[in-house]
Chain A
Amino acid sequence: MNWIVRNLWLIPALPLFAAGISALAKQKNRALAAGLAIGSMGISFLLALCAFAHVLVLRSSGQATQQVFNFPWFQFGNDWLSLGWVLNPLTAVMLVMVTFVGLLIFIFSVGYMEHDENFTRFFCFLALFASAMLGVIISNSLLLLFMCWEIVGLTSYLLIGFWYFKPSAAAAAKKAFITTRIGDLPFFLGIVWLYSQTGTLLFYNNGAGCLEPTAITHLLSQTTAIGVCVATGIALLIFCGAIGKSGQFPLHVWLPDAMEGPTPVSALIHAATMVAAGVFLVARVYPLMSAHNGIAGMLTTSTALQAVTWIGAITALFGSLVAVAQFDIKRILAYSTVSQLGYMMMGLGVGGVAVGMFHLITHAFFKALLFLGAGSIIHGCSGEQDIRRMGGIRKLMPITFLTYGIAMLALCGFPLFSGFWSKDEILHAAHHWNISQAPYYMGAFAALLTAFYMTRQVFYVFAGSSRLTEEVTDASHAAAHTDAHAADHHHGSSAIHESPAVMTVPLALLSVFALLLGFFGTPAWPWFQSFLDDSPLAVNFGAFGEGGILPVMLISSVIVFLGLGLGWWFYGRKPIESAVAPDAVGKLSPPIFTVLGHAFYFDAFYGATFIRLNTLLSKISDWLDRWVWSGAVKTITSLVFGFAHLDNFLDTNVVNSGFDEGCEGVSLSGQILSRLQAGRVQGYLKIVAGALIVFTIVLLWKAKI
């Protein structure tokens, strides 16, 4: 076996090692902590490249591209429970992405966190997180994956709550941990169920793994009490874990709140890696997800995949609707992430592993770039996060503006940018889905909204003149979103400045990928897809014309331009003058109606009602988000606490007082007896003890005789 396969564990182990050392080191050793974290991540990146190259070599030489390394962990009844890791194209791609994006974010953090007193601790947590995330990726065992998954959750908690002295950050961290944990419970039950059915948790084990045909066939042949096939039941339970981790509807509530963490954390955890772990999980157990009883080769979609698709489509639409009505720069991005994760899930559901994963990879780059850009802006504006108080940053932070623009266009799916190719592929697959067309329309509508809200954000932030000194009066949105790192930031409040090179260089690097990465998966040269699916690859420009690809592409381009245009129409046409001015979509004044009405007839009419509806829907979604889903969580919490108090009451007053009453009865009779014998319990116990010892000695002595 190849060296890299045997030593794949080094990739997660190195950051772990770095985290361990910096945990033991003194808080003052800033350079050591940062150096260790970045150095270990750099070596991991090189190793990941080796692994990637190894898979490429295997592929070009026509060998199987999947290699596993398993080892027994402990005995489970009569069986051994094994753990292990797997190197296949999916692992290789994710490894390279996570180590590379992670490395850039680590470097960025050196600049972003330089004023923070807990710099060392921050890098320790970052490295620990990266280690756990890489562990999730290489696991060849659902159990090992789950273990790393939980550590990812823990470190994410630590990082979101990094500024724990802010009550909102502490609350957000708790919410994130507990919400994802709710998803993890069904996931765990699914693991236990899978183990009891197949007797193994290894994914691949020379034919005996739980994702290999023997096990899948076995799972399909069983039916549960409620008539669902066991494979479907397990797949749905596992998917619950992915819903929690990837912020899918209805467990997405934690993700926007998680923006309380430092911005590099948002980039690393809430854009590139952790939230993608759920998508990765579905991709990893895809054979289980897609297992169905239909005839092989037929176009039958399994129940589990249908669930994935619908959840994804709902999330995609929901996230983009809510994003339109946000004012916090990071919350817009957070809802955008929710929406994009929905796309990935939908892609997995309708198109398969390659479709979903391609969007995951491209999204990781441009969303990390957006978050880092936002971080750079926040850093430059001394902690301001409200987009209404920004403005005019284009001239003051040119590099940030340029990179942010690229990322924004990639996210919108502007033609030829990376997001275009990946999102288009999802829409194309959705268009050809054999169950329903609804996900396609939901996705297309979400794409329109995406272009719209990103345009809105960019105009608010970069155009016009600075409104930083103005106060925002709208109390509902002006809550103290001020980034805590402003507290340590003594640059003077007004001087907006471009960030140092340690922050802008990662931005530039990421933007190159945001621009070009899409060309690895165009219909004409679907290298990425063939790499993941292990299918032959050929350059074929005719592919654009086949299977209705070109029309879908054209439609989505039109949608993007429409979204951008609408955004410009509302926010770019007239510079936003004051931070207190109402939002353009929000007021929708009659003059706009007139102008629209004169320019286009039907389109204008649809556009206006549609946007009004849109605003309404956004408000409803926002309201739902604030009251219904959060409310549900609160209700359950108070119910639990109610029961807890009841139990406590029972314990103090019923169980205990029963005991106490009994004792009083006994002591009453004792008092009567004590007329005869005065003495205390301690005294009696001493006598008992003494008697026991004497008794024992006597017995021993007798026994000897």
Chain B
Amino acid sequence: MLAWTIYISFLGALVLLLLPSRNAALVRVLALATTLVTFAITLTAFLQHRSGEMFTVVDYPWISSLGIHFSLKADGISLTLLLLTGVIGVCGVLFSWDVDHRIKEFFAFYLVLIGAVYGVFLSFDLFLLFVFYEIVVIPKYFLIAIWGSTRREYAAMKLVLYSFIGSAMVLVGLIAAYVVAGSRSMSLGDLAGYQYSPHFQMWAFPLVFVGFGILAGLWPFHTWAPTGHVAAPTAASMLLAGVVMKLGAYGCLRVAMTLFPLGLAPWGFHVLGLGSWRDVFAVLAVIGILYGALVALVQKDFKFVIGYSSISHMGFILLGLMTLNQIGLSGAVVQMVSHGILAGLLFAVVGRMVYSRTHTRDLPALGPMHMNKALPFAAFTFVIAGMASMGLPGFSGFAAELMILIGVWHSYPTLILFVGIGLIAGVAYIWRAMQQAFFTGPTPAAAVAPPDHPLPPITFPEKLGAGILICSSVIVGTFPQVFLNVIHPALNSPLFQGLRNGGW
């Protein structure tokens, strides 16, 4: 049944392209219906598989001579991320309600992107996973290059090049793993069960991890992300930050770390105080957290603030992965969900609610517009999203970051101080952006003259989308156990056996 998420998305795209009429309303409704159906499927699957154990969705031989199967399986971790994709998919359509330019193509690319993301999260065969991973790149490019803004071709090209470099690294690592294991199967389960020599793992692990890490915004390979997010149209930014970056993190956890758990083992010597790839990536993650937050602090472009904040939040995920304990790892997965929701919401406010109305994202220029009076709903939503993003208790970010921090405390107690500074910087940049964009004075209530061109009011789809995302964040923040119930069994499954033996 879950496989239909992929088929329906692709089918929806095809139907949209073949649609004879250019009726915008029909196109939108069709796109919304497609995403809604896929969301319903993910939700049903999530509710059905409460145990979180691995189950097979579809499995039949594909290229028998190479041992490649069309194999889709899901466990608690993928179910959680599938659900996230479903939610973001629906909200992305809601926030694209105003797209007019080549609308059929827009939503067709959008649905292809969603379908490919579902594919990555579901693939259990690594060849299949790689195919879907590559398909993701193509609609991304067109969405940015055609519907984007601000140096869109540069940003699109940069994103594509970085993605291809990353996938090339992944491909080399995967082929090596396949060949070394005897060229019999590409199934993740089989390969993860194979005992690679520690030497092999030592070089294959960083290759694959960095390959996926590029898409997860790993510092210093993050630079595609802010430019890409900024140039992308709202729905694409939401998907990009919300789920596509999670593909990278998912790949790091699900592929790199399960295939080559010994790659995380100590080298036996120290360079600059770092004794293993694990240390290296943990430090890079912390640098990402701090660096992203600091750069966000001085941006003039509102969207760049959010773009760099994503780097900072993704650093938490990578750091959580490197803790190698159950709290940290499950925290990383919850943070994937949390950041997916919140980044989506923040980009929605900045891109759709503000930019498409004011046609500027320049913070000093937004100030005099008195946005809190002109667009009170946007201001309200941004305040909520900002609070959630800075880790206010009750929202998803707090629960996730708390788990990661406790995990870090067990594994890297010295790093926690830097992470703490990153948290404070996180308060500061959100605060600065919020003040500058929405609450710049002085506006004595009586003195506000009616603007010459009143901004169009916030529409119903936007309110609905914002409402869905805020509620999701609160649900994750107050009942994280719903997700942990399925994440824990997944982490305890045989797939992560090697990692468990090496780590916690």
Contacts and interface: CB of A to CB of B under 8 A. Distances in A.
Contact of A165 (B157, B424, B443): B443
A584 B322 CA distance: 66
A640 B432 CA distance: 14
Given A647-B291, A651-B223, A692-B135, A685 B399 contact: no
B398 A147 contact: yes
B403 A76 contact: yes
Interface string B382-400: 0000010000111000110
A88 to B, nearest CB: 23
Interface stretch (B60-68, B174-182, B253-261): B60-68
A189 B416 contact: yes
A77 B134 contact: no
B250 interface: no
B63 A699 contact: yes
A164 B64 CA distance: 68
Contacts of B294: 640, 643-644, 647
Interface string B39-59: 000000000000000000000
Interface in A145-170: 146-148, 150-151, 154, 161, 164-167, 170
Q: Is the interface of A mostly helix, strand, loop or mixed?
A: helix
B439 interface: yes
B441 A167 contact: yes
B341 to A, nearest CB: 17
B271 interface: no
A696 B158 CA distance: 27
Interface string A673-684: 000000001100
Interface string A193-208: 1011000000000000
Interface in A633-685: 640-641, 643-645, 647-648, 651, 655-656, 659, 663, 681-682, 685
Given A74-B399, A147-B394, A193 B138 contact: no
Nearest to A484: B444
A174 B392 contact: no
Interface string A619-641: 00000000000000000000011
B135 A182 contact: no
Interface in B464-504: 479-481, 484-485, 488
A180 B203 CA distance: 46
Given A696-B131, A700-B62, A703-B61, A165 B442 contact: yes
Contact of B223 (A117, A185, A659): A659
B444 A487 contact: yes
B325 interface: yes
B409 A154 contact: no
A75 interface: yes
Contact of A181 (B142, B145, B424, B480): B424
Given A74-B399, A151-B393, A164 B439 contact: yes
B198 interface: no
B298 A655 contact: no
Contacts of B64: 703
Contacts of A648: 295, 298-299
A458 to B, nearest CB: 33
A117 B161 contact: no
A640 B220 contact: no
Given A146-B393, A181-B424, A75 B410 contact: no
A264 B160 CA distance: 57
A15 to B, nearest CB: 15
Nearest to B160: A685
A602 interface: no
B427 interface: yes
B443 A151 contact: no
Contact of B435 (A117, A165, A170, A193): A170
A699 B62 contact: yes
A598 interface: no
Contacts of B262: none
A188 interface: yes
Contact of A117 (B402, B425, B445, B485): B445
B420 interface: yes
A178 interface: yes
A182 B424 contact: yes
A192 to B, nearest CB: 5
Contacts of A644: 294-295, 297-298
Contacts of A487: 444
Nearest to A681: B157
A147 B410 CA distance: 22
B387 A703 contact: no
Interface in A93-139: 117
A164 B445 CA distance: 11
A60 interface: no
Given A77-B325, A154-B387, A192-B406, A147 B484 contact: no
A154 B392 CA distance: 9
Interface of A: 73-78, 117, 143, 146-148, 150-151, 154, 161, 164-167, 170, 174, 177-178, 181-182, 185, 188-189, 192-193, 195-196, 487, 640-641, 643-645, 647-648, 651, 655-656, 659, 663, 681-682, 685, 688-689, 692, 696, 699-700, 702-703
19 contacts: A75-B481, A77-B326, A146-B393, A147-B394, A185-B421, A185-B423, A188-B423, A192-B409, A196-B410, A640-B297, A644-B294, A655-B220, A656-B223, A659-B223, A663-B161, A681-B157, A685-B142, A689-B138, A700-B62
